A and B are shown apart, each in its own frame.
Chain A
Amino acid sequence: MPSILLNPRASSVPRWLIPAERAVAGIEALFDRAFGSAENPLHQLGALSFYLFWIVAASGIYVYAFFDTSVAGAYRSVEALTHQQWYLGGVMRSLHRYGSDAFVLTMAAHLLREFVKGRWHGFRWFSWLTGVPLIWLVYASGLGGYWLVWDELAQFSVIATAEWLDWLPIFGEPIVHNFIGRGATTDRFFSLLIFLHIGIPLLLLLLMWIHIYRLSHARTNPTRQLGLAVFAALLLLSLFKPALSGGPANLDAVSSALDLDWIYMFAHPLMYLRSPGFLWVATAGFTLLLALLPLLPRPRPEPKAEVDLDHCNGCSRCFDDCPYVAITMVPRSDGAPHLRQAQVDPELCASCGICAGACPSSTPFRTQAQLKTGIDLPRNSVQALRAKLEAALEELAGAAPVVVFGCDHAVPVTALCATNTACISLPCAGMLPPSFVDYALRNGADGVLVTGCGAGNCNFRLGNQWLVERLEGKREPRLRPAVDRERVRVEWFDRHQGAELSGALAQFRAALPARPLAPEGREMFWKERRKTEEPGRDESSD
């Protein structure tokens, strides 16, 4: 069993959740083995839910085209579609059903994963809170779909739902009266159902959009491989076990046994086992519990990113890279000749430092004693990073010395510290300005290894993606082209992969080309350097 370490400094997971977090991380590790981090479905559950929504929407449009909106026609039209057109209409119907079922499961898994990772408070409260009503809308959409078929199951579910709603003392005439006895249901009821079954999913889509509104570059598409595989599996299931109707609804009888869709309808048996009141307490209680989670006491948030106008030229790189839309570009307020300046909304800021990694002013080659940059984390400043790096470089000795930059949320890199390995942990790998890599290589390191959360699993969503693009020269700020790429390595590992990281480091070191600057030479270099340093430069300031 791989050891899964949780870095207490960076974790948003409250103590009582840590066992659950570890259990889920263990399952993720298993999936990582099978899929690799980048393809791991557990790293794209939100995206997968979006994808399933589109499958359900597309197949639903097809099925709707053949649906007869009337008491007499509803059941008949669905049956005709299922049997006369099994190869297309039937498959579409099955995709519609199984896609909806899978949607519930990916949503539930997404919820559970965000929950055990403690992602409900602070800057994440918005994503969390807007997720809660999605559960209700998904269920309302799915149940409404089952009712349209107007078979025994539909009848059962409609009446159970009506009985449940009637428990609320708000309806003058009990709704359930509409479904009792022959001739009680009308064509108008079906028009209403159709209206709801189109309207509620549209509302769902709107809310899904709001759900990701405060995330930039939200991942709403799964990887191609995962998307194809999921579609293929849905198709196989549809052919292997086509979705069928039960007997036609008959309000004069009840079916003693029903083939229930437990994923959507588990609440009906629960209600009959206990009572409508019980089900209300359970559902409302669960919803309230989720909605109130953000109010739980939580660790004091890290201080938020701050802009220093003297070092901001309004280039908007930080704006482009911030994963949580916490930065806006506003008109210049200090009379400087630039058009705009960055502005941070502390409410939205995650203190990830990705913006500091994006800022052109974050370069350690600047000669100020105090390295100032355009946007910075008060508690993890680039000045502190440079000081740490310089101290580490000075200590480095032995053969093929390497600087490892890691992430507080991934494998703790401190385990790697050695005489020939400097280890520096950042709030997010995406905070590392590429110039720091250059700086390390020019000042004594033979190689630089950057590591962080598994691909597609960045705790701050975009950090590892931006870092790779910057190092590969595809994104500003770019790593200087002259830097010897053989001396730079990026390795993403999730928290459980401590051993893999050590292995990768050893391999990287072994492959490093010999360097003209031997260890003694390095010693000299630092002595020289200290002599030439401008007076007043304070190395120890933090």
Chain B
Amino acid sequence: MKTVLRYLAQAVLYGAFFAFVGYFSTSPRFEHLRPDEALIRISFSHAAQRVGECRERSDEELAKLAPNMRLRTVCPRERAPVLLEIDMDGKPLYKLTAQPTGLQKDGQSTVYRRLTVKSGQRHFAARLSDHSSGVIGYTKEFSIDLAPGKVMVLDFNAAQGGFIIHQG
């Protein structure tokens, strides 16, 4: 009798352990987005413009430099931050300043953000400045139908003319 009880208790304990494993390996369901939401990923890297103007060195200045260093034009290395603003349906949705990377602030600014928004027909306006004056150099306005669970990627590539939209 006692052994039967013990085996029973063992079965219960094994059962509990492996039920735990079985259950939590897939459950409970994780609601990543609500059923009426879509996702926007803003994702790009961009090297903004240099902070200062390039400048010509005078002859005296050049003479002081080692012969292999005598470049007439010197440019500051530091880049401006990238400013980004996005409006959705006429209201500001997101605003960000991305500092350049690198110790000398001479690298690219990288941006990655995920935003959840209500799905549906949406109108966006995106503006970007990569100049130290903050003047807007790139804009894009577009309408898009964001279906639930869809991802819109807002990319930026200056060589390809500015903002690029991918949508699945």
Chain A interface helix/strand/loop/mixed: helix
Closest Cβ neighbor of A259 among chain B residues = B26
Residues of B125-163 whose CB lies within 8 A of A: 148-151, 153, 155
Closest Cβ neighbor of A104 among chain B residues = B21
* One of A35, A182, A272 near B10 (C-beta < 8 A): A35
**Counting CB contacts under 8 A, is B110 at the interface?**
yes
Docked pose: A42 CA to B149 CA in angstroms: 45
Closest Cβ neighbor of B21 among chain A residues = A101
Q: Spot the interface stretch: A261-269, A351-359, A520-528.
A: A261-269
**Counting CB contacts under 8 A, is B94 at the interface?**
no
**Counting CB contacts under 8 A, is A399 at the interface?**
no
Please name all residues of chain A whose beta carbon is closer than 8 Å to the beta carbon of B24 when the two chains form the complex.
101, 261-263
**Counting CB contacts under 8 A, is B91 at the interface?**
no
* One of A33, A180, A236 near B6 (C-beta < 8 A): A33
Closest Cβ neighbor of A238 among chain B residues = B22
Docked pose: A343 CA to B112 CA in angstroms: 60
Chain B interface helix/strand/loop/mixed: mixed
Q: Spot the interface stretch: B29-37, B52-60, B80-88.
A: B29-37
Docked pose: A268 CA to B148 CA in angstroms: 21
Closest Cβ neighbor of A160 among chain B residues = B32
Residues of B11-70 whose CB lies within 8 A of A: 13-15, 17-18, 20-22, 24-35, 37, 39, 41, 43-45
B10 touches A234 (CB 8 A): no
Given contacts A34-B6, A229-B14, A258-B30, contact A176 B112 (CB under 8 A): yes
**Counting CB contacts under 8 A, is A105 at the interface?**
yes
Please name all residues of chain A whose beta carbon is closer than 8 Å to the beta carbon of B27 when the two chains form the complex.
259, 262
**Counting CB contacts under 8 A, is B114 at the interface?**
yes
Given contacts A34-B6, A173-B45, A269-B30, contact A256 B35 (CB under 8 A): yes
Please name all residues of chain A whose beta carbon is closer than 8 Å to the beta carbon of B33 when the two chains form the complex.
254, 256
Given contacts A180-B41, A254-B32, contact A234 B110 (CB under 8 A): no
* One of A31, A35, A105, A163 near B112 (C-beta < 8 A): A163
CB distance from B34 to the nearest CB of A (A): 7
CB distance from B147 to the nearest CB of A (A): 9
Closest Cβ neighbor of B37 among chain A residues = A256
Docked pose: A163 CA to B22 CA in angstroms: 28
Please name all residues of chain B whose beta carbon is closer than 8 Å to the beta carbon of A182 when the two chains form the complex.
166, 168
**Counting CB contacts under 8 A, is A492 at the interface?**
no
Docked pose: A180 CA to B45 CA in angstroms: 13
A180 touches B31 (CB 8 A): no
B21 touches A250 (CB 8 A): no
CB distance from A165 to the nearest CB of B (A): 11
B21 touches A173 (CB 8 A): no
CB distance from A152 to the nearest CB of B (A): 10
**Counting CB contacts under 8 A, is A97 at the interface?**
yes
**Counting CB contacts under 8 A, is B167 at the interface?**
yes
Given contacts A251-B168, A256-B35, contact A233 B43 (CB under 8 A): no
Please name all residues of chain B whose beta carbon is closer than 8 Å to the beta carbon of A102 when the two chains form the complex.
17-18, 21
Q: Which of A31, A172, A243, A269 has the most B CB atoms < 10 Å from its CB? A: A172
Docked pose: A389 CA to B148 CA in angstroms: 81
**Counting CB contacts under 8 A, is A156 at the interface?**
yes
* B interface residues with partner A (beta carbon < 8 Å): 6, 9-10, 13-15, 17-18, 20-22, 24-35, 37, 39, 41, 43-45, 101, 107-108, 110, 112, 114, 148-151, 153, 155, 166-168
The 5 closest A-B pairs by CB, nearest first: A252-B168, A34-B9, A256-B33, A259-B26, A260-B30
Q: Can you identify 5 A-B contacts, CB atoms within 8 angstroms?
A: A180-B43, A180-B153, A233-B14, A234-B18, A262-B24
* A interface residues with partner B (beta carbon < 8 Å): 31, 33-36, 97-98, 101-102, 105, 156, 163, 166, 172-174, 176-177, 180-182, 229-230, 233-234, 236-237, 240-241, 243, 250-263, 268-269, 272
